[in-house]
Amino acid sequence: MGVALFPLWIGCISARRAKNRPFSRRNKSFLDGMGEICYRGGEVNDMTISQNLKDLRRLSGMTQEQVARQVGLTRQAISSYESGRTQPDLDTLARLAEVYGAEITDVLYGAGPRQRALRFWRRAPFLLAAAVLAVVLLRSALLLGLNTFLTFPDGMAVTEATRSLIERRFALLDVVQVLGGLAETVSLLGCLVLGVLLFPAKPLPPAGRGLLFFLALAAGLLLVTVPFAALDGVYRAADYLWPGLNILLPAVLLLLWWGILALVRRKKERA
């Protein structure tokens, strides 16, 4: 069964409900001659609306029970809207937007700046982890390939026949080293950028998201190193795992910074 869609020639919604919010080209909203707010554009997925409602409520710092009291509904109804089980009508959407201090098009499109920031923090840490892990995976595969197909016994004499093979091996080992350094650099710079962006972030993304990022990165590093190390009969596991320690260090510092910011802001809110 396909996901239902809201057509965005959706008529007009009372301007009283929307507090006479101004014209917005970005949100494709306008006031008609009768004081009604109208919307036009493409289509909006109802599952997107449910996520937008959930995000706006979390950004407002309200519980489902608090929202339900303000709009005159039950908590179960708010939960049903946020899970996508049922669809609110346009009048209810307008009332919810008013409660959250948002444009109704923030509910429909999720285009508000705070919502974009929330989506950024939902994805960015894990995109960073994926980029780092991709480089480490390439390094592990190359190192195992070298130690499987391009090895030489100890004490082998260097001859004209073997010189080019030895030079090729050392050249590829240099590539392995560069890949390890690249993964460490991406981790360091990525965590540094995220740490800088965290400081002014309002509201602060949940510290649990930082913990998930660290755990995902740590688990991923084990997955892209340990199996290769187990198959390698030349190098030890430490040769595969060592770059992972340098990669995890910036993530640990980012997690600590995230936690410190969360504690400081919590203290300020209670003061």
Let me know the angle formed at the C-alpha of 46 by 42 and 51, rounded to the nearest 5 degrees: 115
CA-derived radius of gyration, the chain: 27
Asked whether 44 and 6 are in contact (CB, 8 A), the reply is: yes
pTM of whole model > 0.85? no
Q: Is 8 exposed, middle or buried (0-12, 13-18, 19+ CB in 10 A)?
A: middle
Q: Say what the pLDDT of residue 202 is.
A: 81
Residue from 105, 102, 98, 87 nearest 39 by CA:
105
Q: Say what the pLDDT of residue 231 is.
A: 95
Phi-psi region of 121 (alpha: psi -120 to 50; beta: other; left: phi over 0): alpha
Asked whether 8 and 42 are in contact (CB, 8 A), the reply is: yes
Contacts of 67 (CB under 8 A, 6+ apart): 57, 78, 96, 99
HSE of 121 in the Cβ direction (CA atoms, 13 Å)?
26
Distance between CA 44 and CA 29 in Å, rounded? 14
pLDDT tens for the chain, residues 1 to 271: 444 444 443 444 443 344 444 333 344 443 344 334 444 444 455 558 888 898 888 888 889 999 999 999 999 999 999 898 988 888 898 899 999 888 888 888 887 888 888 889 989 999 999 999 999 999 999 999 999 998 876 666 677 777 888 889 999 999 999 999 999 999 999 999 999 999 998 888 888 889 999 999 999 999 999 999 999 989 999 999 998 999 999 999 999 999 999 999 888 878 7
